[in-house]
Amino acid sequence: MRRRNFITLIGSAAAWPLAARAQQPTEPVIGFLSARSLDDSANLVAAFRGGLQETGYIEGRNVTIEFRWAEGQYDRLPGLAAELTARRVAAIVAPAMAPVRAAKAATATIPIVFLTGADPVQFGLIQSLSRPGGNVTGVAILTNTLVQKQLELLHEVVSSVTLVALLVNPKNPITESDTKDVQSAAGSTRQQILVLNVSNESDLKNAFTAITERRAGAVLVQSDPFLNSRSDQIAALAAQHRVPAVSPFRELVRAGGLMSYGTDVVDAYRQLGLYVGKILKGAKPSELPVQQAVKVEFAINLRTARTLGLTIPLPLSGRADEVLE
């Protein structure tokens, strides 16, 4: 063998491991697109990471998560979705209707895993719950279907209330549907609904002024990323205006609201992590049936009840999953 050919052969052999290593697949990147902010989502992100870990994916070890937070500004979502699409992430997590719509508009190929309280078929996200089709699947929670129970629980505690204020975010794509659900449910408890639009801090203060002026006897909070992230402010304003507040999620109760009745959203985020893990392992979104989160929790704040001069029936507090004394 000629010396030149020998050197070429040795050089090629030495370069092969480097080339082979360069061709090895890098760890997958997940895009996480939320209308909320990081500060009020720590427990939800932890639950999502927990679900991923159950499928063998650990952030920083064999998967990367890129977060995009709209911080209650829904008009930022399309741009944030475009960033994740340009990044060519392996999947996009989109909790709530506004983020999933932004993600769906940005890509028809990258898998999208949603979490929504609205009917995903009715809103055109998927073809059917059993076979979603396309690049979208996810977890559906029971926020809309539990409104009647929230009003019934409120009626048990304050039977004299005939006018209930409903805080909704007009920028949320499902607000019209949510409002109709609440108004329909209120018929069975003979309550009237005062709809108040809230999409910023100023709206929130004005809403409680209107509650006092209209003499609404209670306030019901829509399941909405912006409103969910304002539990502390809503609880404080409800206390200031001496009105019982009810929410689908227990964060409001822990902040000082009266009651919550709704899906265990932390567990729903864990299910999101499980589904993303399945997709990273090769499952097709079009063939992954939409999971329905059915774990429901009821919480009540007895301290708030006493402050408002309300008596909570013992059987009612006995049914609660969490009671704040």
The region that residue 218 occupies, defined by phi over 0 for left and psi between -120 and 50 for alpha, beta otherwise, is beta
Residue 238, phi then psi, degrees to nearest 5: -65, -40
Confidence (pTM): 0.84
Mean pLDDT (the chain) is: 90
User: For 137-189, how does the pLDDT look when each residue is reduced to its tens digit (9 = 90+)?
Assistant: 999 987 667 888 999 999 999 989 999 999 999 999 999 999 999 999 998 88
* pLDDT tens-digit series, residues 25-66: 589 999 999 999 998 899 999 999 999 999 999 999 999 999
Complete domains list, the chain, with CATH:
29-142+264-295 (3.40.50.2300), 144-262+297-324 (3.40.50.2300)
Helices (H) and strands (E) in the chain, counts: 13, 13
What does DSSP say about strands 163-168 and 218-221: parallel, antiparallel, or unpaired?
A: parallel
Between CA 102 and CA 97 the distance in angstroms is 9
pLDDT tens readout for residues 268-300: 999 999 999 999 999 999 999 999 887 889 999
Report DSSP state, residue 137: E
Residue 95 half-sphere exposure, CB side, CA atoms within 13 Å?
Answer: 32
The separation between CA 37 and the C-alpha centre of its own chain, rounded to angstroms, equals 12
Name every residue whose Cβ is closer than 8 Å to that of residue 136 and which is 6 or more positions away in sequence: 100, 104, 111, 112, 113, 114, 120, 125, 126, 285
Position 58, amino acid: I
Q: Which residues contact 127 (CB under 8 A, 6 or more apart)?
A: 121, 133, 134
